[in-house]
Amino acid sequence: DAGVIQSPRHEVTEMGQEVTLRCKPISGHNSLFWYRQTMMRGLELLIYFNNNVPIDDSGMPEDRFSAKMPNASFSTLKIQPSEPRDSAVYFCASTLEWNTEAFFGQGTRLTVV
Amino acid sequence: KNEVEQSPQNLTAQEGEFITINCSYSVGISALHWLQQHPGGGIVSLFMLSSGKKKHGRLIATINIQEKHSSLHITASHPRDSAVYICAALPLGSNYQLIWGAGTKLIIKP
């Protein structure tokens, strides 16, 4: 397996534009996490899916953020409209079960100008 | 006070030295993770442990549940070990919400 795959690796966009980040978890993993990493706040959990169902989205900053997992092999994180304070590295991670080792994607570095 | 504290924040050592990074936590946990983040940004899970000791190559992780303390050791350190090492605790009763340490930035000089 190629591991967790995220795209794009880098995204530069203008304030107000819609941004969509994509994640393909490891096949067979039933838990998927979206994290945001900034210098100020470190790693923050945005949303957790289990068996494609959003279990906890309390970390999603505001209504501008939304995440979907239409099937076991694909998830998206969308920001609309984007703002400069959204600039961060966004990681997707998947686990076989909730209490097993997490595998992270390479991250998407988002810059909103 | 953070619930997960790492020390030191920064560590610079010479190639070949034995490295120890510490992680203390104040809550009851079911597991503790050690992860590595390279300068390129990718995050790799090194260990997940709930008791005792685990070893993988030159890396050793230990945990003392009673003392609420874990250590990550690197033997015969090498410049390619230079990275940020992060510990994260899974509190009792939580299925997924990790409490993250701030990370230890390790630089190994040749």
Picking from B42, B48, B100, the nearest residue to A43 by CB comes out as B100
Instruction: Note the pLDDT of residue A93.
Output: 95
Identify the residue whose tokens are 């909730």: A98
∠ CA A61-A50-B30, rounded to 5°: 90
Q: Which residues of B touch chain A, with CB atoms under 8 Å apart?
A: 30-31, 33, 35, 40-45, 48, 86, 88, 90, 95-98, 100, 102-103
Give the rounded percent of residues in chain B with a pLDDT score beyond 70: 99
In degrees and rounded to multiples of 5, residue B19 shows phi and psi of -110, 140
Average pLDDT over residues B7-16: 97
To the nearest whole angstrom, how far is the Cα of B99 from the nearest Cα of chain A? 9
* Residues A99, B90: C-beta atoms closer than 8 Å: yes
Q: Chain B interface, mutation test: which of A104, A108, A109, most B Cβ atoms within 10 Å? A: A104
Q: What is the pLDDT along chain A (113 residues), one digit of tens a residue?
A: 679 999 999 999 999 999 999 999 999 999 999 999 998 888 999 999 999 999 999 999 889 999 999 999 999 999 999 999 999 999 999 998 766 888 999 999 999 99
How much is the average pLDDT of B62-85? 96
A1 touches chain B (CB under 8 A): no
Mean pLDDT of B55-69: 96
CA distances from B95 to A44, A61, A91, B83 (A): 16, 21, 19, 28
Q: Is A96 on the interface with B (CB under 8 A)?
A: no
What is d(CA A35, CA A37) in angstroms, rounded to the nearest whole number?
Answer: 7
Compare CB distances from B95 to A91, A98, A101 and report the shortest one's residue. Answer: A98
The DSSP code for B103 is -
